[in-house]
Amino acid sequence: MILSAAAQTQAAAAPAAGPVAVPAKIAVIAFQLAVAQTNEGQRDFGDLQKKYAPKEAALKTLSDEVDNLTKQLQAQGASLSEGERANRAKVIDDKKKQLDRESEDARNDFQTDMQDMYNALASKVYDVMQSYAEQQGFTLILDISQQQTPVLFASNGSNITKQVIDAYNLKSGVPAPPPAAAAPGSQAAPRPAAPKPAAPRPTGTH
């Protein structure tokens, strides 16, 4: 009884153990780049370009028509009557308005499809990134995709962009696109510009 009481007294007197500090292990990732450069991202972007190729060709034809009509009016303007010049100018103006309207519609449709494609893929890439970070013991991952990123310096060894791309490609099973395939971001006018979406903001379990 005496020994038991002494042991309890010593245990009560001992300071309580505080939380154990875990060393921070931080990595950075260019998340948007990772999403775009996965095999699946390159494949889907290529499919999106093919989808809008006919519309792009139609806009190019209309644009060339406007240019040709404008040049003809400039060259023949002096020999035309005032009424004819006015009629031709109206035709050109109407076609310009049509071109602007259809270009804007195509741009908006493209950006919407691009955003939907990115969001769907980004969610899956995020899950792979999270699993990779947990396996490697990272306690914090910083996204350096944005121009206003607070990260001023990061060593090459802390950048896990390629590792996440490789991990996702392995999981998805999507083969690499052929070398001739266009990479995301390589667009020629008047193709609508791709949006620059921010990295997803995970909700729920993320």
Q: What is the pTM of this model?
A: 0.70
Mean pLDDT, consecutive 10-residue stretches, the chain (206 aa), reads 49 55 84 96 96 96 96 88 92 96 97 97 97 95 88 88 97 88 42 41 43
Which of 97, 88, 94 is closest to 69 using CA atoms?
Answer: 88
Single-letter code of the amino acid located at 99? L
Distance CA 106, CA 191 (A): 8
C-alpha separations of 197 from 46, 110, 116 in Å: 18, 13, 10
Residue extents of the structural domains in the chain: 24-172
Place of tokens 């499919």: 47
What is the structure's pLDDT at 12?
Answer: 54
What is the structure's pLDDT at 154?
Answer: 84
Q: What tokens were used for 7?
A: 């042991």
Q: 24-172 has which fold?
A: Protein Binding, DinI Protein; Chain A (3.30.910)
